[in-house]
Structure formats: C-alpha cells, structure tokens
Amino acid sequence: MLSPALRTKRYIWRDWLMSYLFLLPALGFFLLFVAYPMLKGIYISFFNHTLNQFEFVGLDNYKFLFHDETFIKSMRNTVLIVLIAVPIVIAFSVFVAMTIYKKSEWLRSLFRGIFYLPAVSSVVSITVVWASIYDPNFGILNYITSFFGMDPIAWLGDPDTALYAIILVLITTSVGQPIILYVASLGNIPASYIEAAQIDRANSGQIFRKIIWPMLMPTNLYIIVITTINSFQVFAIIQLLTSGGPMYETSTVMYGVYEKAFVLGNFGLASAMGVLLAIVIGVISMIQFKFLGSDVEY
C-alpha cells in the first residue's frame, strides 16, 4: 500500500510525463524543421559552402557582407520597408476596425471578408494582378494618371517609385489579419468604460487615446511584432515584381539570401545574411516587447 505522499508524487510524475508526451510531436517537428536548420544555418555561415566547396572561413562571410554595397543597400531597403509598412498597416487597420466594429453584423462581416481576402489569396496571384496594374505601357495605373495629364511612369522600373510600389502591395496583403483582430479586440472593450468617459464629457479623441488604445495593447503588441517580422521577410512580391531592381533599389536581405543561395549557389554567404537578418529581427522584437509589452495584461 503506497503512502498518500508517494501516490501524489506518482500522480504528478504521470501528469508531467503525459503533458510532455503530448508535446513531443510538435516539439520533434520544431527541433527537426526549425531548430536544427537554424543551428545548421549558423554553422554554415562560417564556411565557404558552394556547390563543390565546403571550407571553414571563420568570419569572412560576415566581413564580406559588412563591406558589400549590395548587402548594405538591401539592409537599408529592408529597414525602410519595415519603417513605412508597419505604421501604415497598424494605422489603417485600426482605422478600418474603428469604422466597422459598431456597424451591423452583416456589414462587419462583409468588410472583414473584403479586407481578409488578400490574406487568404495566393501572394503570387495578387502580385501578378499588381504587375498588370503597374505595367508601364498598358497598366491601369498609368491609364488613370493619364487623365491628370501625367506621362506614363515605370512604377517598378523607376528607382524613385519602385520601393514604394512594393510597399503598397505588401500593405494590401498585410492588413487583413490585423483588421480581424482589432475588430475582435474592440468588441471586447466594455461599453461601460466608454459610456463613463462620455458622461465625463470626454471627446472621441480622448476616448481613443485614454481608453481604446490602451485596451488594444495586447493586440497591438502581437500585430506589431508579426507585421514587423513579415515585413522583414518580404520576398515573393519582390521576386515577382522587380527581382530586386532597378539598381538593387528594391533588393531586400531575404531576396539577397535567395539570390546568393539558390541562384549563385553560395550557401555560406546566404546563411551569414540569414543570421544577420535574424539578429536584427530578434533585437527589434525584443525592443518591441520591452516597450509595448509593459502595459500588457493577459
């Protein structure tokens, strides 16, 4: 006969084991398909790994990248994309969510559906449509601007417009999920808070700043982190629309990784680029958690 203490201990142990057994499949996949490639990528970044070579070069790949104009330009473009796209996605999503969350259920669903459509559509299909919109010779955008007396613009071929044209496509594909989440979060804000503020004669700006925005912080944190990471990793849109051109003006670190690894077969250099990108994303995410996470209550 086991003592009650031992029985409890056994129960706890069995409970613990069962929990980890249930976690095992997911953990196994994570270790095999995420953690292992990540560690292998770091390892490869210290090698000159091409189609027929694999020799240790220490930090040479990193040293090369810090002096490579194309990489520096790609990093600059990547940061620019994040700095422009993320605030616009957040602001636009909050605006749309604020506009529709008090509407009837039918209308709310309609708008959510419309804005979420790009999120469930193939990026390739969307990008192909945008390519025809931006077409310098027969695109609808130039057709519209011609009514204002403007000469045709090569939206994707002009260094002054190409990156912004990419950012616009990125924004259209990024706003779907934030809008859904903001609408849900706004619905969870107790009406009594807002009514109390209205009784105290708070205007709508004050209500937004003092009540709605702070209450949206958990959602904000998630959306900002996810949108930042997605913006850092934008690839398909660039590959399909500009191939990083013109003159590397739309090249990003992710596109550079693809080009170095799969076009040139230089896996060492590509891995080093990937590691640097991961470091940048990691640091920025930590900063975001530090500054935005402090007010979050779960």
Partner 1 sequence: MTAIRKPFVLGFVLSMLIMLIAACSSGNNGNSEGNASSGEKPAESNQASETPAEPVEITWWNFPNYQPLDGEVGKYEKEIIAAFNQQYPDIKVNLEMITFDGGPEKLNIAISTNSAPDLIYDAPGRIIDWAKKDLLAPLDDMVTDEVRSDISEALWKQSMVGGKTYMYPINTAPFMMAVNKTVFEKMGKLDLLPLDRPDRTWTFEEYKTALQAVKDNAPDVIPSGFFAKSQAGDQGTRGYITNLGVSRFLNEDYSAVAINTDQAAAALDWIVQAQKDGLIVNGSASLAASDVNDLFLQGKLAFTINYSAVLKAQNKTLKKAEFEEVLLPFPTLDGSEPKLEPYLGGMAIFNNKDEAKIAAAKKLIDFIANDPEWGKKNLIQTGGLSARNSITGLYEDEDYKYSELARKFITDPPTIADGYAEIRTYWFPELQRALLGAATGKEALDAFAEKANEAISKAKAAQ
Residues that bind partner 1 (CB under 8 A): 9, 12-13, 16, 20, 27-28, 31-32, 35-36, 49-53, 135-138, 152, 154-159, 162, 242-243, 245-248, 258-259, 261-265, 267
Minimal distance, residue 156 CB to partner 1, in Å: 4
Nearest CB to partner 1, comparing residues 2 and 199: 2
Q: State the residue for tokens 């708070």.
A: 202
Minimal distance, residue 298 CB to partner 1, in Å: 22
Residue 60: both structure tokens together: 């040479």
Among 298, 111, 108, smallest CA distance to 222 is for 298
Minimal distance, residue 149 CB to partner 1, in Å: 17
Question: Rounded to the nearest 10 degrees, what angle do helices 217-232 and 162-174 cross at?
Answer: 140
Residue 3: both structure tokens together: 């003592």
Please confirm whether the linkage preceding 87 is cis (ω < 30° from 0): no
Minimal distance, residue 87 CB to partner 1, in Å: 27
Nearest CB to partner 1, comparing residues 219 and 251: 251
Cα dist from 125 to 20, 44, 120, 122, 240, whole Å: 41, 34, 11, 5, 10
Nearest CB to partner 1, comparing residues 22 and 291: 22
CA pair distance 178, 216, nearest whole angstrom? 12
Minimal distance, residue 58 CB to partner 1, in Å: 18
Among the residues of the chain, which ranges form H helices?
4-30, 36-44, 60-67, 69-100, 105-120, 123-134, 140-146, 162-174, 176-187, 191-199, 204-207, 213-215, 217-232, 236-241, 253-258, 267-292
Nearest CB to partner 1, comparing residues 33 and 66: 33
Nearest CB to partner 1, comparing residues 17 and 279: 17
Minimal distance, residue 72 CB to partner 1, in Å: 15
Kindly provide the b/e burial profile for residues 258-277, where b requires at least 16 CB atoms within 10 angstroms of the residue's own CB: bbbbeeeebbbbbbbbbbbb
Nearest CB to partner 1, comparing residues 55 and 200: 55
